[in-house]
Amino acid sequence: MAATRLLLLMAAALVLLVARGSDAQLSAGFYSASCPSVHGVVRQVMSQAVMNNSRSGAAILRLFFHDCFVNGCDASLLLDDTPTTPGEKGAGANAGGSTFGFDLIDDIKTQVEAACPATVSCADILALAARDSVNLLGGPSWAVPLGRRDATSPNATGAATDLPGPDSSLDRLVAAFAAKGLTSRDLAALSGAHTVGMARCLSFRTRVYCDDNVSPAFASQGRQLCPASGGDATAAPLDASTPAEFDNGYYRNLVAGAGLLHSDQELFNNGPLDSLVRLYSANGAAFSSDFAASMVRLGNVSPLTGSAGEIRIDCRKVNS
Ligand code: HEM
Ligand SMILES: *[C@@H]1O[C@H](CO)[C@@H](O)[C@H](O)[C@H]1NC(C)=O
Ligand SMILES: *[C@@H]1O[C@H](CO)[C@@H](O)[C@H](O)[C@H]1NC(C)=O
User: What pLDDT is recorded for position 96?
Assistant: 79
Final residue of a structural domain among 132, 163, 194: 163
Q: What is the mean pLDDT of residues 110-123?
A: 98
Q: In this structure, is residue 44 part of a structural domain?
A: yes
User: What pLDDT is recorded for position 16?
Assistant: 43
Beta strands at 235-237 and 198-200: parallel, antiparallel or unpaired: antiparallel
User: 277-286 burial string, b = 16+ CB within 10 Å, else e?
Assistant: beebbeebee
- Residue 55 Cα distances to 92, 145, 177, 282, angstroms: 20, 25, 25, 26
Q: Residue 239, annotated ligand binder?
A: yes
Q: What is the mean pLDDT of residues 62-72?
A: 98
Q: Ligand 2: residues within 6 Å at CB? A: 49, 52-53
Give the tens place of pLDDT for each residue, 236-252: 999 999 999 999 999 99
Q: How far is the CA of 52 from the centre of ligand 2 (A)?
A: 6
pTM for this prediction: 0.93
Minimum-distance ligand to the CA of 157?
A: 3
Reported as a pLDDT band with limits 50, 70 and 90, residue 6 is: very low
- Write the CATH number for 270: 1.10.420.10
CB 188 within 8 A of CB 149: no
CB 214 within 8 A of CB 261: no
Q: Residue 88, annotated ligand binder?
A: yes
Query: Is residue 297 over pLDDT 50?
Result: yes
Residues 119 and 77 in one domain: yes
- Residue 72 Cα distances to 22, 69, 86, 160, angstroms: 12, 6, 18, 14
Query: Is residue 14 over pLDDT 50?
Result: no
Q: What is the mean pLDDT of residues 289-317?
A: 98
Q: Ligand 3: residues within 6 Å at CB? A: 71, 155, 157-158, 161-162
Query: Is residue 127 over pLDDT 60?
Result: yes
φ/ψ of 255, rounded to 5, equals -65, -30
Which of 52, 56, 102 is the pocket-test mutation for ligand 2 (most atoms within 8 Å of CB)? 52
Euclidean distance between CA atoms 174 and 187, whole angstroms: 7
Final residue of a structural domain among 115, 137, 163: 163
CB atoms within 10 A of CB 257: 18
Q: What is the mean pLDDT of residues 11-28?
A: 57
Q: Residue 186, annotated ligand binder?
A: no
Q: What are the strands, taking DSSP E only, across 162-269? A: 198-200, 235-237
Q: In this structure, is residue 307 part of a structural domain?
A: no
Q: How far is the CA of 49 from the centre of ligand 2 (A)?
A: 7
Query: Is residue 10 over pLDDT 60?
Result: no
Just list the catalytic residues: 66
Query: Is residue 22 over pLDDT 60?
Result: no
Chain-centroid distance, C-alpha 284: 20
Euclidean distance between CA atoms 163 and 94, whole angstroms: 9
Q: Residue 112, annotated ligand binder?
A: no
Q: Whose CA is nearest to atom 27 of ligand 1?
A: 190
Q: In this structure, is residue 135 part of a structural domain?
A: yes
Which of 66, 155, 161 is the pocket-test mutation for ligand 3 (most atoms within 8 Å of CB)? 155
User: What pLDDT is recorded for position 227?
Assistant: 98
The whole-chain average pLDDT of the chain stands at 93
Give the tens place of pLDDT for each residue, 73-110: 999 999 999 999 999 999 999 997 777 899 999 999 99
Which positions ≥6 away from 219 have C-beta within 8 Å?
207, 208, 209, 211
User: What pLDDT is recorded for position 23?
Assistant: 46
Q: How far is the CA of 107 from the centre of ligand 2 (A)?
A: 12
Q: Whose CA is nearest to atom 7 of ligand 2?
A: 100
Count of structural domains, the chain: 2
Q: In this structure, is residue 195 part of a structural domain?
A: yes
Give the tens place of pLDDT for each residue, 196-205: 999 999 999 9
- Write the CATH number for 154: 1.10.520.10
CB 158 within 8 A of CB 71: yes
Q: What is the mean pLDDT of residues 132-158?
A: 98
User: What pLDDT is recorded for position 4?
Assistant: 53
Q: How far is the CA of 9 from the centre of ligand 1 (A)?
A: 42
Give the tens place of pLDDT for each residue, 253-271: 999 999 999 999 999 999 9
Q: How far is the CA of 114 from the centre of ligand 1 (A)?
A: 32
Residues 95 and 125 in one domain: yes
User: What pLDDT is recorded for position 5?
Assistant: 58
Structural domain containing residue 177: 170-298
Q: Whose CA is nearest to atom 2 of ligand 3?
A: 158
